Chains A and B, each alone.
Chain A
């Protein structure tokens, strides 16, 4: 009966070692992409990946122009052969009442964003949103909506690698403090 607990621990350690090894190797590329894009996204403002317009609101929010008019002005600022249908050209409109501006993101390759004054409709800035592509790459959505599962799989793999790695670090310490555990060939210290 006394041998049972150490045996189970040894099996767990061997299993952890091989799980850590195989899962770690398989998810390397996916995690590399997720890590690099994550770092770039964390510093998207510093890297100039998204346009930043600092402005305090001068007019009250009640004087804001209608959304359709703001969408029309934004589309006019970036002429395109696709016409002026907001349902086709506009991806989203981000209203900032406190700043008195609206960010209109267009559905083009560069994810162009037009920043307009909410009440006058004046174009404040036109620039590309480089972070949109990076976000899609980060989540796996760049290949299609269902491909976010790829990112999920990498995250689960990382979690498994962390847990098994933690056990591989902890096991030799338990073994050295528990005389019943004994020495283990191929596991424990050699595994980690």
Chain B
């Protein structure tokens, strides 16, 4: 299994589980936690749209140096929620 595929699977299945866990008992959580949660959710929703679209680019348009498509289709599902969560965490300071 390639690193990209492993990251995509983590972003597809593990990231939503972490978000779901993080969303429990929100009223008792700190402001930072809540902001990080919402940042993660927004990041994940953006990743679903962007990643799904990038994943449907037909193979004849792929090139060996296609870093952008690879990033959006494989890495965005994990990176975007992490970035969103981090941004929310910092914003909630």
Best-surrounded residue of B17, B51, B55, B62 (most CB of chain A within 10 A): B55
A26 at the interface (CB under 8 A from B): yes
A128 at the interface (CB under 8 A from B): yes
Say which residue of B16, B56, B62 sits within 8 Å of A28 (CB atoms): B16
Interface residues on A, range: 20 to 34
Pairwise interchain contact B55-A33, C-beta atoms closer than 8 A: yes
Pairwise interchain contact A22-B60, C-beta atoms closer than 8 A: no
Say which residue of B48, B56, B58, B60 sits within 8 Å of A29 (CB atoms): B48
Pairwise interchain contact B20-A22, C-beta atoms closer than 8 A: yes
Provide the residues of chain B in CB contact with A134, threshold 8 Å: 56
Pairwise interchain contact A128-B5, C-beta atoms closer than 8 A: no
Pairwise interchain contact A110-B56, C-beta atoms closer than 8 A: no
- What's the minimum C-beta distance from A132 to chain B, rounded to whole angstroms? 9
Q: Determine the distance from Cα of A109 to Cα of B52 in the docked complex, in whole angstroms.
A: 20
A50 at the interface (CB under 8 A from B): no
Closest Cβ neighbor of A49 among chain B residues: B58
Number of B residues contacting the other chain (C-beta, 8 Å)? 18
Say which residue of A26, A28, A37, A109 sits within 8 Å of B60 (CB atoms): A109
Best-surrounded residue of B17, B52, B58, B62 (most CB of chain A within 10 A): B58
- What's the minimum C-beta distance from B92 to chain A, rounded to whole angstroms? 23
Pairwise interchain contact A137-B17, C-beta atoms closer than 8 A: no
Pairwise interchain contact A32-B52, C-beta atoms closer than 8 A: yes
A binding-site residues for B, Cβ under 8 Å: 21-22, 25-26, 28-30, 32-33, 36-37, 40, 108-110, 128, 130, 133-134, 137, 143
| Besides the known contacts A29-B48, A32-B52, 18 further A-B residue pairs in the complex with CB atoms under 8 A apart | A21-B20, A22-B17, A25-B16, A26-B13, A26-B16, A26-B17, A29-B16, A29-B52, A29-B77, A30-B12, A32-B48, A36-B52, A109-B60, A110-B58, A110-B60, A128-B58, A130-B58, A133-B59
29 contacts between A and B (CB under 8 A): A21-B20, A25-B19, A25-B20, A26-B17, A28-B16, A28-B48, A29-B12, A29-B13, A29-B16, A29-B51, A29-B77, A30-B13, A32-B48, A32-B52, A33-B52, A33-B55, A36-B52, A36-B56, A40-B56, A109-B59, A109-B60, A109-B62, A128-B58, A128-B60, A130-B58, A133-B58, A133-B59, A137-B56, A143-B5
